[in-house]
Amino acid sequence: MHADRSPHACVCDARLDTFLSRLDALSVFTNCLRANPLSVEEWRETSKATLRDVKWLDTQLEFLDIVADNINVKDSGEMHDLRNRFMHITGGPGTGKTEAIIHAAYRAAENGARVFILCPTGALVHAYKERLPPTDQIVVETLHAGFSIARKADSQTYAPPGRLRRYDLIFIDEASQISDAIYDCLTMGIQELPQRPFVVVGADFQQVAPIGAEEEQKVRTSLQVYGKIH
C-alpha cells in the first residue's frame, strides 16, 4: 500500500480537527510558562469568540432585518415560492459581508433557528469557527462535506443528505468559487428540502480567482436578488 503524496491529495476534516486540537494544547502548554499562568478553565474562557461591536451601514441593517424576517415566515404561499427563499449579497474584501453573515447567523440561532454555514474551503470554515461565539445551533462545514458531494460531482446521480432537513437558515459564502457541477448539486439539494429554508448566497465576482463566465451567469440569473451589501 502506497501513500498518496500527489499535490492533489486532500486533508480530511478529521485530520484538520486533530491539528487544531494540537495547536490548542500547545497554547495551554506555553501559557504555563508565563509568570502568572491562567488555569485551563480561564484559558478556555478567554479563547471563546464574541460578537464584535459594529456600526452598521443602512444596507447591512436591511440585510440583518431581511434574514430575521424570513426565518419567521409562516405564510405557505411565500414558503412555496422558492424565489422568495433566496437572497444574494455582494461585497468585496473589507466591506463587512462576512461580519454581517456572522451576526445574522448568531441572531437567528439565539431565536431558535438551526443555521448551516457552507464554505468552499476548509480555511474559510476555520475562519468562521474562530469568530462565531459558541452555540449548538450553528454548524459550519465545507460545501462538499455539508451536502455530501463527491469530488467529481455528477448532478445526475447526486442525492442530498437527509440531515439538511433540520436547518432553517443556510448561508453559502464565496459562491464565486463554486464550479458549475457543484452549483447544480447545491440547487438540486435545496429545491428538494420540504422545510424551505431561507438561503443566503454571498458572492464576489470581482475577486482574483472567480469561477468561469458560464458558472457566474448561472449563479447570477438563478438567484432572486433582494438586497446587496456594498
The pLDDT profile of the chain, 230 residues, written as one tens digit per residue, is: 444 444 444 456 667 777 777 777 777 666 666 666 666 666 555 557 788 888 898 989 999 999 999 987 665 555 566 667 888 888 777 778 889 999 999 999 999 999 999 999 999 999 999 899 989 999 999 988 999 887 666 656 778 888 999 999 999 998 888 887 888 888 888 888 888 899 998 877 555 444 444 544 444 444 433 333 43
CATH number of 50-222: 3.40.50.300
CA distance 61 to 57: 6
pLDDT confidence of residue 67 = 93
pLDDT confidence of residue 94 = 73
Phi, psi dihedrals of residue 21, rounded to the nearest 5°: -65, -35
Task: Give the CA radius of gyration of the chain.
Answer: 19
Four-CA torsion 127, 130, 132, 135, nearest 10 degrees:
120
pLDDT confidence of residue 118 = 94
Q: Specify the pTM.
A: 0.69
Question: Where on the phi/psi map is residue 16: left (φ > 0), alpha (ψ -120 to 50), or beta?
Answer: alpha
Strand 169-172 and strand 138-142: the pairing is unpaired
pLDDT confidence of residue 107 = 95
For residue 31, with 0-12 CB atoms within 10 Å meaning exposed, 13-18 middle and 19 or more buried, which class applies? middle
CA distance 134 to 106: 9
DSSP track, 78-121: HHH-GGGGEEEE---TTSSHHHHHHHHHHHHHHTT--EEEEESS
pLDDT confidence of residue 119 = 92
Q: Which three cell numbers stand for residue 45?
A: 474562557
